[in-house]
Structure formats: C-alpha cells, structure tokens
C-alpha cells in the first residue's frame, strides 16, 4: 500500500499535525501493516520465477480463480488441491508468485526444520510497494518487551484489573439474554489484552476503547485481494484501512505525548516504556502493534471456548467445579448473590500460579478449542537456497503454505476430528501446533491463556450458558466453524449464546 493519500486523509479529518508527524505517521502505518501481516496473517505474495525439475504437481486453474480461491476460500482451496493432485504438495501461481502448498508430516516437519523459511520476508513482499518499512530490530525489541510484560510479577499485578474489566463488560449485559458470539466475547478479550499491553488511561475509558476496537477491526478485516496485488489502486478497502490506521496513530500518539508531558504516572505498559526511555514513536507503534498481534486471535479462540462450553453442560460443570475448588483452596467464599465487586474480589485472591497450574480441565478445553477452531495457514518464503522435501524441491524464493487444520483435523491423529472432546487430549501423545511452530511460536501465549481462563471463570460463576439457533431453539450439537474464515472463524450458521444469571 502506498502512502500518498495519508496527507489528504489527515487534512480531511481536520487533524492538526506537522510535517515531521506526517512522515512518521506514514512510516508507522507501513510498519503496522507489515506487523499485522506477520501475526494476523494476511495473504502472501512472492515474485520469483519457479525453475526446478523436481516440481510439485501444478494445480490447474486460472489466475483469477487462484487469487479468488486462495484469498476467499483458502481451506476449501487447499483441501481440494491436495485431492485433485493426489500429492502431499502442489504448486500454483498467485499472479507472478509461486506458492507451494504442503501437507502431512513432511509439510509440518518442513516448517519446523527449514531455517530459510521466513515469515517476515513473506509479509514484506505482500506489501510490495513499501518494502523498506519493516524494522526487524524493532520487532525483536517489541517481542522482548512483550515477554517482560508477561512476567509473573506483572501478570499477577494485572489479575484484579483484568477481572474487573471483564466484569465491567459483563455488567452491561443484564441478568439474562442472548449474545452474538462473534462480538460479545471479543469485546471482553479486547479490553483485557489492551489492559496488559497498553495505557490505563485508554483502557479505563470504555467509549474510547470501543472506537479503537472499531479501527483495529477495519485494519485487520478489510483486506481485499485487489489491494494486495495492485497496491497502487486505492479501492474502498484501502481507504478504510488508511483512515483507521491514521485514527489509531493519532489517538495513541496523543496519549503517549500527554503522559510524557507531565501526565499522571500509572502502573501500566506505557509507563514501563517511558521509564525505559523509549521514543514517542516507538511507544506509539508498540501500543498499536501488539494489540493487533494478539487481540483478535484471543477473541476468536475465546469465543469458541465459550461456545463449546455453552454446548456441553458436562465440561462446563467440570470447569465450574474446578474454579469453585480453587476458591475453596484459598478459603475464599462467595456470597449467594455475587455482584461485580464480589466476584472480582474473590477471583483476584487466586494467585497466578494457581490459575496456571490448577485448572486441568479448563486447560484441556482451551487446547481442544485451539485444535478445532483455528483455521490458520502458515505462510513463509524460502529465503535460503533450494531445498529438498520428500521427492520435491522447494525453490529459493518460493512461498510455502501450510494449513494448521491439516494436522489438527487429521483423522490419523484425532478420531472423529471435528468433534469437540477435551478428554481426547488425555489419551495419547498427539501433535499440537496451536501456538505455532519452530522459531515463530506465539509470543503472547501466557497472556492469552490467562485472559481466557479469567473470562471463563467469570462467566461460569455468574451465568448458566447454552447455545441456541436462529429460531432460538436449544442446539443439540455445537456450532460448526467456518474454516474459510481465516481471521474470525465465525460459526457456519447463525447462533447465539443464551445466558441466565445463576441466582435469578
């Protein structure tokens, strides 16, 4: 994406901004888009002519079909490609880019083994018009800070805030009703993730948060194939993205600036950045980039976790009993009719280590949800020399695509793979790739798991949950994920989470 429209957009938004800021805004927008790709997994592009004799079979389809199917129906496209070619690897052209789709144990091992397969190179090429904006050094520095924010001391300190954020959102629901699973759970996890990675001045303001969430949504949902391949064409999606990035940038920057210019110190991530003498630009980027990396995925897995538990009274009851057991271990009693403050206070007394190690059923539920509701496709570029994989050669410069579902829905690993059954994970040692592979394991795992546990405990202690269909009838089976929806993995059919206050 180019940045020549940035000044126009900013002027039209009547925002007062000087030339230097314009330049940094352009650089930041560029950086965010590339960062967002690295973690939210936009679609990849590589321009390298494919020349090798031991080629994986070519999938026969038109260029337009390849672009459309790969971007819009990736799960079906990959599954059908393997079926059609009868091979564990096949290749196709994505306009001028060569992509090798891989599957099976050979495909999975390749991603683990081959150090030349680079995630970042991939997204640099995706955003071909802005290749110089990505700063490896800065991203590594962000990751170090992210790990630091997830240290035991900091996460322990954050627990009461996280619980309160969660209850604050739940309070707006009333004592019974229906929830849209696609928005209600993400609304909560977004605030919680922001609490740890951002400024308390922002996270305390629910109205501002909901505007920010809207802009983040635009950034990670409005990619269109045309804008990836023809970045110089400004379609509506590109303009929306630019508008959202501009708003995010200006908003976060104003909070950073205010704090630096004598605003009240708060015990948050922003203060830690200021205390470590980071520049205004670095802090602004950090505060936008990290939520982009983690909020959506936490919301997606979180919503499926709650949907599966709402569909399965047995597991919901196991988990509820486990949480109640934790409370009694620490001699914490809940009043009969617990309100927001009672619940926050009670659950806050459970130490981080107990949340992390004493909820085995909830751990299984989270792992099983990540297995079944994460339609992520890992995309890499081979930045090293050609290498062999099985009978094929993966040429230097080619893209590699591997769908996680190839492992997680594989009947040879998991019997009846689309059934949500946390107990299956007790049975044998089975491959788990939910947090990624090799060098690119998720860097926000500890925060994501804690967020999902606090959310689940808060909901199960407060409500009875069930799933209802479009006609508001109780669903006999859990909803089915749309695996072609790589980003938000919405249910195939319309459904709602029905909640009823447990004491009403």
Per the annotation, binding residues for heme are: 442
In the complex, minimum distance from the CB of residue 16 to ligand HEM, in angstroms, rounded to a whole number: 31
The contact pattern for ligand HEM, residues 367-386, with x = CB under 6 A and - = no contact, is: ---x---x-x-x--------
Terminal-to-terminal C-alpha distance of the chain: 53
Least Cα distance to 377 among 353, 400, 356 occurs for 400
The only residue of 6, 56, 301, 497 in contact with ligand HEM, by rule CB under 6 A: 301
Nearer to ligand HEM, 61 or 372 (CB): 372
298 binds ligand HEM (CB under 6 A): yes
Centre a 10 Å sphere on the Cβ of residue 500 and count the other Cβ atoms it contains. Answer: 14
Phi, psi of 271 (to 5 degrees): -65, -40
Nearer to ligand HEM, 133 or 444 (CB): 444
Helices (H) and strands (E) in the chain, counts: 22, 10
The only residue of 107, 133, 294, 390 in contact with ligand HEM, by rule CB under 6 A: 294
Dig out the tokens for 494 from the structure: 């319309």
297 binds ligand HEM (CB under 6 A): yes
The contact pattern for ligand HEM, residues 105-144, with x = CB under 6 A and - = no contact, is: --------------x-----------------------x-
In the complex, minimum distance from the CB of residue 53 to ligand HEM, in angstroms, rounded to a whole number: 29
Binding to ligand HEM in span 173-212, by CB under 6 A: 193
Nearer to ligand HEM, 17 or 288 (CB): 288
Q: Are strands 97-102 and 377-382 parallel, antiparallel or unpaired?
A: unpaired
What is the side-by-side strand order in the sheet with 495-501?
A: 176-179, 495-501, 463-469
272 binds ligand HEM (CB under 6 A): no
Least Cα distance to 111 among 401, 487, 434 occurs for 401
Binding to ligand HEM in span 443-482, by CB under 6 A: 443-444, 447-448
In the complex, minimum distance from the CB of residue 141 to ligand HEM, in angstroms, rounded to a whole number: 12
In the complex, minimum distance from the CB of residue 381 to ligand HEM, in angstroms, rounded to a whole number: 12
In the complex, minimum distance from the CB of residue 3 to ligand HEM, in angstroms, rounded to a whole number: 24
Least Cα distance to 218 among 246, 182, 197, 195 occurs for 246
In the complex, minimum distance from the CB of residue 302 to ligand HEM, in angstroms, rounded to a whole number: 7
146 binds ligand HEM (CB under 6 A): yes
# residues contacting ligand HEM (CB under 6 A)? 26
In the complex, minimum distance from the CB of residue 376 to ligand HEM, in angstroms, rounded to a whole number: 5
Would you call 464 helix, strand, or coil by DSSP? strand
290 binds ligand HEM (CB under 6 A): yes
Phi, psi of 14 (to 5 degrees): 55, 40
67 binds ligand HEM (CB under 6 A): no
Half-sphere exposure of 76 (CA within 13 A, CB side): 10
Measured CA to CA, the distance from residue 9 to residue 241 in angstroms comes to: 11
In the complex, minimum distance from the CB of residue 288 to ligand HEM, in angstroms, rounded to a whole number: 11
Least Cα distance to 357 among 316, 386, 315, 329 occurs for 329
- CA dihedral sign, ordered 417, 419, 425, 428: negative
Measured CA to CA, the distance from residue 70 to residue 50 in angstroms comes to: 19
Least Cα distance to 275 among 260, 288, 285, 290 occurs for 260
Residues that bind ligand HEM (CB under 6 A): 38-39, 119, 143, 146, 193, 290, 293-294, 297-298, 301, 370, 374, 376, 378, 434-437, 440, 442-444, 447-448
């Amino acid at each position: 994406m180019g940045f020549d429209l940035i000044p126009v957009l900013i002027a039209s938004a009547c925002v007062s901004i000087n030339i230097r800021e314009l330049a940094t805004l352009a650089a930041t927008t560029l950086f965010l888009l590339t960062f967002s790709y690295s973690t939210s997994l936009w679609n990849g592009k590589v321009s390298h002519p494919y020349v090798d004799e031991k080629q994986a079979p070519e999938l026969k389809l038109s260029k337009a079909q390849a672009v459309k199917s790969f971007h819009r129906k990736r799960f079906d496209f990959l599954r059908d490609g393997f079926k059609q070619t009868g091979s564990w690897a096949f290749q196709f052209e994505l306009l001028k880019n060569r992509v090798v789709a891989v599957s099976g144990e050979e495909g999975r091992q390749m991603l683990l083994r081959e150090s030349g397969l680079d995630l970042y190179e991939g997204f640099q090429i995706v955003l071909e018009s802005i290749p110089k904006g990505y700063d490896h050094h800065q991203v590594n520095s962000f990751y170090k800070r992210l790990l630091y924010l997830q240290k035991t001391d900091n996460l322990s300190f954050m627990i009461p805030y996280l619980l309160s954020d969660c209850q604050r959102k739940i309070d707006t629901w009333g004592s019974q009703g229906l929830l849209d699973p696609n928005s209600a759970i993400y609304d909560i996890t977004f605030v919680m993730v922001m609490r740890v990675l951002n400024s308390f001045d922002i996270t305390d303001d629910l109205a501002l948060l909901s505007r920010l969430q809207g802009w983040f949504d635009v950034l990670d949902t409005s990619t269109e194939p045309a804008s990836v391949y023809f970045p110089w064409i400004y379609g509506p999606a590109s303009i929306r993205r630019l508008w959202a990035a501009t708003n995010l940038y200006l908003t976060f920057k104003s909070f950073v600036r205010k704090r630096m210019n004598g605003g009240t110190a708060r015990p948050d991530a922003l203060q830690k950045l200021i205390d470590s003498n980071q520049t205004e630009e670095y802090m602004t980027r950090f505060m936008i980039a990290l939520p982009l990396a983690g909020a959506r995925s936490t919301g997606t897995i979180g919503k499926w976790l709650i949907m599966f538990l709402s569909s399965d009274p047995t597991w919901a009851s196991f988990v509820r009993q486990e949480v109640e057991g934790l409370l009694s271990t620490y001699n914490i009693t809940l009043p009969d009719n617990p309100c927001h403050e009672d619940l926050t206070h009670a659950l806050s007394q459970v130490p981080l280590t107990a949340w992390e190690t004493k909820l085995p059923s909830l751990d299984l539920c989270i792992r099983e949800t990540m297995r079944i509701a994460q339609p992520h496709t890992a995309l890499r570029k081979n930045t090293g020399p050609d290498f062999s994989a099985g009978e094929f050669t993966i040429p230097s410069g080619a893209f590699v695509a591997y769908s996680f579902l190839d492992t997680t829905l594989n009947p040879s690993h998991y019997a009846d793979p689309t059934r949500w059954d946390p107990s299956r994970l007790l049975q044998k040692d089975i491959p788990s790739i939910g947090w990624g592979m090799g060098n690119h394991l998720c860097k926000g795992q500890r925060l994501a798991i804690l967020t999902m546990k606090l959310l689940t405990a808060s909901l199960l202690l407060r409500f009875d949950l069930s799933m209802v269909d479009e006609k508001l009838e109780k669903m006999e089976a859990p909803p089915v994920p749309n695996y072609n929806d790589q980003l938000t993995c919405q249910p195939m059919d319309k459904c709602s989470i029905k909640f009823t206050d447990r004491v009403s």
